[in-house]
Amino acid sequence: MEYDYEKLKSAGRVSKDALLYARTVIKPGRRLIDAAEQIEKFIADKGCKHAFPVNLSTNEQAAHYTPEFDDARIIGEKDVIKVDLGARKDTYLTDCAVTVCLDSEYSSLVDASEKALENAISMVKAGRKVTEIGAEIEKTAKQSGFKVIRNLGGHGISQEDLHANVFIPNFANGDNTALEEGSVIAIEPFITTGIGSVTDGSFLQIFQLASDNTPRSTDAREAQAIIEREFSTYPFAMRWMIKQMGQEFRARKAVAELITIGNLDTFPVLVEKGNGMVAQSEKTLIVTKDACEIVT
């Protein structure tokens, strides 16, 4: 089947608009859960499904923080929040991010991530080696006095798969894989004041269907059916499951059983190892012969 770039671009327009909208709802004093749900509603109201739950990772958190059910966390006056989101049109996915900086102390960090993304995009073309893109990202970060996060990076995007085909590093990792014309990629510099690496935190709210082993309990079988029907193989949030099942205890117990039997992959929050501040910028692109087309 021929790849439908128009559906990808349609999802891209919604994603781009959602990032602009996100800047209007990320305000000090608001609950993080309210901001996340407003952004997700914006995407749905534009006729797209979610490629994954909206991530609102704060300060030293680099990725994978989506608010939990009835999350009490309040946006602080000096928070640095990574808004990472994606829209889905049928099986066509986009991935993009901006950092909303509520503390002017870290505006140069955010500027560095945006400049690194801009410089990386300028290098994209068919045949470009991914290590060369990574080298440009790290050079830009160093020129600004910061470090890249080395164990995070960009990625290829295929139909139904948000992380496919190719890894695009944030430093020169020696990978000479060349970008292919017509391929879809996401470039996402993560820049930090810390040591340049992330580790798994204890907060876990994002899951993805991995297998279809038969659960023992009625609740887990119900949860499995909901996931297959509502979320398919795309990442989902615990709060989405709680709303579907109607009771928090049942949903959490069911998800725990599905993890135990290997039916779910888990995505814990990623935290900078040195507790450094983190900024992220990301766009989805189509690789062309001599450059690229920005989708988001």
Q: Measure CA 147 to chain center.
A: 20
Q: What b-and-e string marks burial along 151-170, b requiring 16 or more CB atoms within 10 Å of the CB?
A: ebbbbbbbeeebebebbbbb
Per-residue pLDDT of 1-24, as tens digits, reads 689 999 999 999 999 999 999 999
**pLDDT tens-place string over residues 201-243:** 999 999 999 999 999 999 999 999 999 999 999 999 999 999 9
Q: What is the CATH number of domain 5-199+271-294?
A: 3.90.230.10
Give the model's pLDDT for residue 103. Answer: 86
Catalytic annotation, residues: 84, 95, 155, 163, 188, 282
What's the predicted TM-score (pTM) here?
0.97
DSSP H helices, the chain, are 5-25, 32-45, 107-123, 130-143, 218-226, 238-245, 248-260
- In Å, how far from its chain's centre is CA 207? 13
User: Which residues are bridge partners to 279 per DSSP?
Assistant: 191
Q: How far apart (Å, rounded) are the C-alpha atoms in residues 194 and 147?
A: 7
**Per-residue model confidence (pLDDT) at position 265:** 98
Q: Which contacts qualify for 24-28: CB closer than 8 Å, 24 or more apart?
A: 26/56, 26/75, 26/81, 26/83, 26/100, 26/102, 27/75, 28/75, 28/76, 28/77, 28/79, 28/102
Q: Which residues of the chain have pLDDT under 70?
A: 1
Topology given in CATH for the domain delimited by 205-268: Arc Repressor Mutant, subunit A (1.10.10)
pLDDT score for 1: 67
Report the C-alpha gap between 212 and 230 in whole angstroms: 15
For the stretch 179-191, pLDDT in tens is 999 999 999 999 9
Please tell me the predicted confidence (pLDDT) of residue 2: 87
Domain boundaries, the chain: 5-199+271-294, 205-268
pLDDT at 15: 98
Q: Residue 282 forms beta bridges with which residues? A: 97
